[in-house]
Amino acid sequence: MRWCWLFVSLLVVGCSPPVTGRTEEFELASERVGDSFRLFVRLPPDYDVDAARRFPLVVQLDANLPTLEEFSATAGQASELEATGALSSVIVVGVGYRSGPEAQRLRMRDLALPMENEVFLQTWRDVAPNAAAPAFYAFLRDELMPELTARYRLEGAQRTALFGHSMGGLFTVYAASRHQEAPLFSSYVAASPSLFWDDAQVITRFEALPELSSPASLFITHGSLEGPVMAGFVEAFSARTRASARAQLRFEHRFYEVGHLGSTTPSFRDGLLFTFGGAE
């Protein structure tokens, strides 16, 4: 079965660049969610060279989702970009689950926003019966980030990015809409976000965000072969965000000639450059 997933992953993301540096995994129990998460960590090759140096952080959602394997893809992209000098050294932490099949089920609990629209709820009630993105956000804020700060030499929230695709992209935009509370992240990279969720309530939520008190960047993408729902909502969100002209928000929208599954690799590659581009 594992080889089958690897084959399918190859078809989707192609051959990801090899991951350089040091990798490790650990489990973290969450009281906020009432479950445990598997964390995948990639430390850059120069992490152990200077014990006083701190590093920027990329938090990658859906780390071990079958077919996409987003932690490996992003860590590989970061490795390649660092080697060419296009990117300064970054730590990549993937938030995943104990197994791939479990990831497919539990991501709908953690990344989906609670549904309010009755029509939408009727269709998605069975797919996401326990949609609880706020609890997952609380896990990131109260449990994951303190754990990572204790374990690794991080630069802090002003140099921390959240990356997500599809439902992970939806959660990323949701996290951006909470930027004012106590910023966990300074950058948000949302690839093909499922903005349609719950009659696009997250768009309304983001629009209600007042002028930011700290700088943030938002990089949002879609695939031109995804169809009208993904493209339409991302384009509408992009137009509205540009129109709001928040001084503290650096915003960019790009699209690629790919389908829904194919948008991860180019989005996260360009997202790394958009967020932390330029070697030191």
Partner 1 sequence: MSALVLAMLLSTAPDAPTVAGLSETDLELAAVGGFGERWSVGGLLALNARWLAWGRQSINGGLEVSVLVGYQNEPHSFYASNFAPSRETGANHRTEVFVTVGHGLRVKRLTVGTHFFIGWTQLTLDGRLQNERLGIDRLTTGSGSELTVGAVLHARFRLTDRVSLSGRVFAPVPNLRTGINSYVMASLGVSVGF
Spatial contact of 138 and 38, defined as CB atoms under 8 Å apart: no
Q: Which residues contact 113 (CB under 8 A, 6 or more apart)?
A: 131, 133, 134, 170, 174, 197, 198, 201, 202
Window contacting partner 1 (CB under 8 A); options: 117-125, 142-150, 167-175, 269-277:
117-125
Long-range CB contact pairs, 20-24, < 8 A, 24+: 20/44, 20/45, 20/79, 20/82, 20/83, 21/45, 21/47, 21/79, 22/47, 22/48, 23/75
User: In the complex with partner 1, which residue's Cβ is closer, 70 or 226?
Assistant: 226
Residue closer to partner 1 by CB (options 120, 251) is 120
Minimum separation from the CB atom of position 204 to partner 1 (A): 7
Q: Cα angle vertex 57, ends 103, 112, to 5°?
A: 35
Residue 236 interacts with partner 1 (CB under 8 A)?
yes
47 is a site residue for partner 1 (CB under 8 A):
no
CB of 268 to partner 1, least distance (A): 14
Residue 212, amino acid: L
State the first-to-last Cα distance of the chain, in angstroms, to the nearest integer.
43
Check residue 196 and report its DSSP letter.
T
Q: Out of 17, 100, 215, 259, point to the residue binding partner 1 (CB under 8 A).
A: 259
- Applying CB under 8 A, does 209 fall inside the site for partner 1? no
Q: Which of 225, 253, 254, 273 binds partner 1 (CB under 8 A)?
A: 225
Interface with partner 1 (CB under 8 A), residue from 235, 251, 252, 254: 235
Among 32, 108, 232, 252, which residue sits at the site for partner 1 (rule: CB under 8 A)?
A: 232
Q: Which is nearer to partner 1, 111 or 154 (CB)?
A: 111
Return the bridge partners of 154, or none: 55
Residue 181-200 contact track with partner 1, rule CB under 8 A, x = bound = ---------------x--xx
Contacts (Cβ under 8 Å, ≥6 apart) of 105: none
Give me the least distance between CB of 8 and partner 1, in Å please: 7
* Segment interacting with partner 1, rule: CB under 8 A, options 19-27, 46-54, 78-86, 256-264: 256-264
Distance CA 154, CA 148 (A): 8
Residue 206 CA: distances (Å) to CA of 101, 165, 235, 241: 31, 18, 15, 9
Choose between 157 and 209: whose C-beta lies nearer to partner 1.
209
Q: How far is the C-alpha of 266 from the C-alpha of 32, rounded, in Å?
A: 33
Site residues for partner 1 per CB under 8 A:
8, 11-14, 67, 117, 119-120, 123-124, 196, 199-200, 203-204, 224-229, 231-233, 235-236, 257-262, 265
